[in-house]
Amino acid sequence: MPKLKTHKGAQRRFHITGSGKIMRVQGGKSHFRRRKAKRTKRLYDETIPLSPSDRARIKKLLPYGV
C-alpha cells in the first residue's frame, strides 16, 4: 500500500487536538478590522472546532492527523 499524501493547504489551515477534534481559525479576521468592536476582534483570535458536516472531508486531506 503506498503512502498517502497530506494536503498542504489543509495542513496549514487545520490542526487536530489530542482528543481528535479538528480545529480551524475563524474566517473574516482581517477584512474591515478597524470598524469592528474590540470584543469582536478578540473572538477572531480563538480557534473553533470544525463543523461535523465538513469533518469527513478534511480527515481525508489529513490522513496522518497532522
In this structure, what CATH number is given to the domain that contains residue 18? 4.10.410.60
Range of the domain at 56: 8-61
> pLDDT (tens digit, 9 = 90+) per residue, 24-64?
998 888 888 889 999 988 888 899 999 999 999 999 999 99
Residue 51, in any domain of the structure: yes
Residue type, 4: L
Residue 1, in any domain of the structure: no
C-alpha grid cell, residue 30: 482581517
Domain count, the chain: 1
> pLDDT (tens digit, 9 = 90+) per residue, 22-34?
999 988 888 888 8
Measure Cα distances from 58 to 2, 7, 30, 55 in Å.
20, 9, 24, 5
Residue 15, in any domain of the structure: yes
- Find where cell 477572531 sits: 44
Strand partners, 22: 16
Residue 57 C-alpha from the chain's centroid: 12
pTM greater than the 0.85 cutoff: no
